[in-house]
């Protein structure tokens, strides 16, 4: 099966000029690279005469070691995906929502430490979520409103990613192990088709410290991807999953393109594709969508 070798820089450091690319391709004897965005994103089609694809990938990663560029080997077949399933916290937004709520409860460092361990896969996700939510008991709903208004920021490139995929006729779902009080506003702002998250239980305008069962965690994220693919009458190979934490690993493994985005080590090591430096527009470049075809508004 044909494969593509992809190079995508961090937005702030586009350095892939012609001289750099010729030097990178020299071991292959190749200079027929395709430019998706000048100095920012380029790719080669791998030929049988280039050697084992894995060895080519390793050579290019070694060549660019220490530089802000993501090097990935991509299956060329069905490269542009019809379904995007994305995590929210530390993926589509720059924060972990529960950690931001914890600051209002005066338990920021305590809850953030549990979040970090859960996202690294060192704690059971469901148990860690229940433990953190319990610490928020008594927090007024106004804290959620203030968090959305004052403490959340969006990951660079997210609006372009979702708008472009929607404009090209694809379905985008936000699937979070966080809470639907956040996935709703985030999905609406970025333009997702749908969103899914856990429900915080409320009594008299305050959090009870409990979360509705069953919890949407690692297995449920995968099942949501599979269900959406079935509803869209496509196969999971035509889906793209995007996330950063251990609870994203099952859906990343189930998708045709599983992308670890600025991910925790365990997730980055397990995913077939990884973006450690690029913005979310890198997800478009992985699909072969050139910058001239990106859209920022619907």
Tokens standing for residue 8? 């995508």
First-to-last C-alpha distance (Å) of the chain: 35
Task: State the catalytic residue, choosing from 11, 31, 77, 87.
Answer: 87
Residue 166 near residue 298 (C-beta atoms within 8 A): yes
Is residue 89 annotated as a catalytic residue, yes or no? Answer: yes
CA distance readout (Å), 3 to 43, 48, 77, 237, 284? 10, 10, 8, 15, 17
CA distance readout (Å), 130 to 125, 136, 194, 214, 215? 9, 10, 25, 11, 9
Task: State the catalytic residue, choosing from 70, 89, 248, 250.
Answer: 89
Label residue 120 exposed, middle or buried (CB < 10 Å: 0-12, 13-18, 19+). Answer: middle
**Which 3 state secondary structure label does DSSP give 179?**
strand
Is residue 87 annotated as a catalytic residue, yes or no? Answer: yes
Tokens standing for residue 80? 């542009």
List active site positions. 87, 89
């Amino acid at each position: 099966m044909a494969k593509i070798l992809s190079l995508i820089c961090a937005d702030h450091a586009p350095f892939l000029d012609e001289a750099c690319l010729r030097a990178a391709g020299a071991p292959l004897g190749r200079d027929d690279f395709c430019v998706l965005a000048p100095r920012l994103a380029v790719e080669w089609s791998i030929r049988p005469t280039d050697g084992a694809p894995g060895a080519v990938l390793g050579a290019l990663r070694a060549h660019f070691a220490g530089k802000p560029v993501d090097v990935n080997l991509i299956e060329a077949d069905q490269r542009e995906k019809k379904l995007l399933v994305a995590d929210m916290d530390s993926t589509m937004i720059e924060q972990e929502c529960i950690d931001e709520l914890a600051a209002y409860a005066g338990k920021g460092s305590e809850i953030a430490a549990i979040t970090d361990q859960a996202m690294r896969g060192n704690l059971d996700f469901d148990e860690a979520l229940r433990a953190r939510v319990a610490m928020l008991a008594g927090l007024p709903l106004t804290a959620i409103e203030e968090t959305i208004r004052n403490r959340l920021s969006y990951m660079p490139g997210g609006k372009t990613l979702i708008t472009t995929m929607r404009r090209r006729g694809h379905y985008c779902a936000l699937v979070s192990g966080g809470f639907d009080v956040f996935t709703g506003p985030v999905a609406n702002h970025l333009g997702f088709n749908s969103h899914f998250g856990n429900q915080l239980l409320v009594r008299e305008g305050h959090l009870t410290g409990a979360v509705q069962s069953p919890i949407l965690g690692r297995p449920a994220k995968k099942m949501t991807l599979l269900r959406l693919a079935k509803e869209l009458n496509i196969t999971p190979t035509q889906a793209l999953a995007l996330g950063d934490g251990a609870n994203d690993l099952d859906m990343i493994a189930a998708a045709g393109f599983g992308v670890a985005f600025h991910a925790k080590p365990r997730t980055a090591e397990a995913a077939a594709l990884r973006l450690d430096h690029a913005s979310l527009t890198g997800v478009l470049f992985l699909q072969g969508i050139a910058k001239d075809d990106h859209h920022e508004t619907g």
